[in-house]
Amino acid sequence: MSETQQGVVTVAESGSGPYSQLVHAGRHVLSADEPDASGGHDVGPSPYEYLLAGLGACTAMTVRSYVERHNWGLRRTTVELSHEKRPAADGNSMINHFHRAIHLDGDLTEQQKLKLLEIAERCPVSQTLRRSSTIESSLTDAAPPFAAWARSEDRTATITRKDIP
């Protein structure tokens, strides 16, 4: 498999279930799937779970970066997230609602904790989710090398949920 571009993610059907996907992000290979209740085989997180993971990771990294610059006594940050669709004010459409609970373990004052909450609100993924985006899609004839590998009948590695820590 060829080296991938930094920041490029390739997703290809794995062939191990109707919705099962292999995700290649840099040198990392992950799985994605839908839960059993949605017709998948639950061999990896769902797309919305990956979105929540990105938001949580960005939140914790942003907090850690700020704490490191200010030499505060934060030992560990844990972020719990959930997502739901709620009716919009117009009553006709739905909006995405993300809930993020941030647990800060360390020797911090209340003022420091409130500052870290403010900093968490400014993590780049939070900012991305709060503003409108455009998504450009196109069709191409040739699949990238990873996609061809994922479809290959003779691949030797199969990733299952138990393989992922």
Please tell me whether the overall predicted TM-score, pTM, comes out greater than 0.75 for this model: yes
Look-up: residue for tokens 């138990």?
Answer: 162
3-class secondary structure, 30: strand
> For residue 142, what pLDDT band results from cuts at 50, 70 and 90?
confident
Predicted pLDDT of residue 153: 45
For the stretch 49-87, pLDDT in tens is: 999 999 999 999 999 999 999 999 999 999 999 999 999
> For residue 1, what pLDDT band results from cuts at 50, 70 and 90?
very low
Check if the beta carbon of residue 108 is closer than 8 Å to that of residue 131.
no
Burial profile 46-77: b = 16 or more Cβ within 10 angstroms, e = fewer? bebebbbebbbebbbebbeebbeeeebebeeb
C-alpha–C-alpha distance, residues 105 and 123, integer Å: 19
Check if the beta carbon of residue 44 is closer than 8 Å to that of residue 163.
no
C-alpha–C-alpha distance, residues 51 and 57, integer Å: 10
Check if the beta carbon of residue 145 is closer than 8 Å to that of residue 10.
no
C-alpha–C-alpha distance, residues 146 and 132, integer Å: 30
Predicted pLDDT of residue 68: 97
